[in-house]
Structure 1
């Protein structure tokens, strides 16, 4: 069993840390809001008062943070505190170039770092059914795999440092596009007076079926847009997609449109809602007074 420092106990990090504690690991959690460490403590973990306090003596450091600057800030404390040989697993979704740079910095200090962003949302985290795309050196990935398989159902090594983040960016592009089209389809069905639950059921049984339809259609039908995965975070992710595509000379015309829809949803004050709230923007564009 390993001693794991887990930094970032939000919607995703909290259940992941609890699963690791439940698997018998000694998990020491830190979050800027101390109360968020309470569920981990109840699950058998421990709470730390700082990043350095969590990391000191840990075999593995796991990060689940909102954005690239957050990872950079926390990583500075990790590199100053952790012992050589420590394995750092970054579950955050950040820029691919930054992930590769962070791995190189860790190597300079004698540590190993892999990027392991996840997909599956809150439900996937709660059910230990996440899809994890891993970038990093083969030996480090092999050492991390037993821990990753505690929190994930599909765990795949996709290439060198930064590759996991590249695949996650592609994932976020596909998910945002699917959500936008699902919102349009439901508005279309509503306009024609269709039985919406029945329509969603039959669509789910055909080629239009997807995890997005399965998980997000009920939120659109009920009007319950509590997160979940927040629009603010998907807006950040679409920025990563746009920047990485531009750097590679790749054209993403549909992605550019979806990025604008996500940005419009955020600008309308819905940034704290689940990304299924793209439905509200589609409704606004159709003339509905959405408040």
Structure 2
């Protein structure tokens, strides 16, 4: 028997998938209506979180942040049996994941932080990516159950909070990527480029495929053999800024990039590869 705490978009679809697989699932949510809605699919809903975890083999958690995980687990403690497995899919700080692993071990429980790169539909379809690290014996024990929840379980080794850190790294890319995409679309608007033409460009030319090579370039430490000089990249960046201003489409990310380019040009790196602006981040 399984308990699932947190019936947001991700948690509720995880539960629906588990129920379809024939599992018995007890659910709880701070707003009880969201938990009660899962009864129509076969879940057992509880208003008391300690009752929801009573008698289960493992508890899955999808909450908001470190504070909510700590609060809810503390409230659940009276209902937990010794040896109950605690599996936390919440995106939290790396420090919090480490502290909880150690604190719950001291209380006689095994806690595994297993954040995900999955949307609600992925949770329902059991596709996507789940990240784990730490106790390899525990991971081996849980991997069949975790694999049933997701398409891929990625094991990042014995460092307890490495999965939490990797999740934050991935989310940082998603935030930067989305903000950069918004600037790209804003520039297109400013230049009166039809959206269909932008789709045509990126359907044919996939800059995302360059990411592994770009990471190698940034971390390689060699910037004196440029494929695009920083001064030329800065020139183009000014064209972006000027066009956006003329088209009354303010940009969010590009101005900060331009300022960083100027800083590196002032330091004498104008004729290095433009990726030198990332040198401090990886050195």
TM over 0.5: yes
Show the 5 A alignment for 1:70-219.
70-159=68-157, 160-209=159-208
Residue of structure 2 equivalent to 1:59: 57
Residue of structure 2 equivalent to 1:237: none
CA contact (8 A) 2:98 2:161 kept: yes
What is the TM-score when the length of structure 2 is the normalising length? Answer: 0.70
What is the TM-score when the length of structure 1 is the normalising length? Answer: 0.68
TM superposition shift of 1:40: 2.3
Write the deviation string for residues 55-108 of structure 1: whole angstroms up to 9, x where unpaired.
110100011000100011112133343112111100001111111111112211
1:30 matched to 2:28? The reply is yes
TM superposition shift of 1:199: 1.7
1:285 to 250, 264, 281: 250
Q: Give the direction of change, closer, same or farther, for the CA distance of 1:162–1:207 in structure 2 (3 Å limit).
A: same
CA distance in 2, matches of 1:206, 1:286: 23
Count residues with an aligned counterpart.
213
Structure 1's consecutive aligned runs of 4 or more residues displaced over 6 angstroms after TM superposition are: none
Structure 1: tracts of 5 or more residues without a match:
211-282
Write the deviation string for residues 28-68 of structure 1: whole angstroms up to 9, x where unpaired.
00001111123422222110121101111010001100010
CA distance in 2, matches of 1:94, 1:114: 13
CA distance in 2, matches of 1:6, 1:61: 6
Structure 2: tracts of 5 or more residues without a match:
210-247, 253-283
Q: Give the direction of change, closer, same or farther, for the CA distance of 1:196–1:115 in structure 2 (3 Å limit).
A: same
Q: Give the direction of change, closer, same or farther, for the CA distance of 1:64–1:72 in structure 2 (3 Å limit).
A: same
TM superposition shift of 1:135: 2.5
1:12 matched to 2:10? The reply is yes
TM superposition shift of 1:154: 1.9
CA distance in 2, matches of 1:26, 1:163: 31
Moved more, 67-76 or 34-43: 34-43
TM superposition shift of 1:124: 2.6
CA contact (8 A) 1:20 1:147 kept: no
Structure whose alpha-carbon radius of gyration is higher: 2
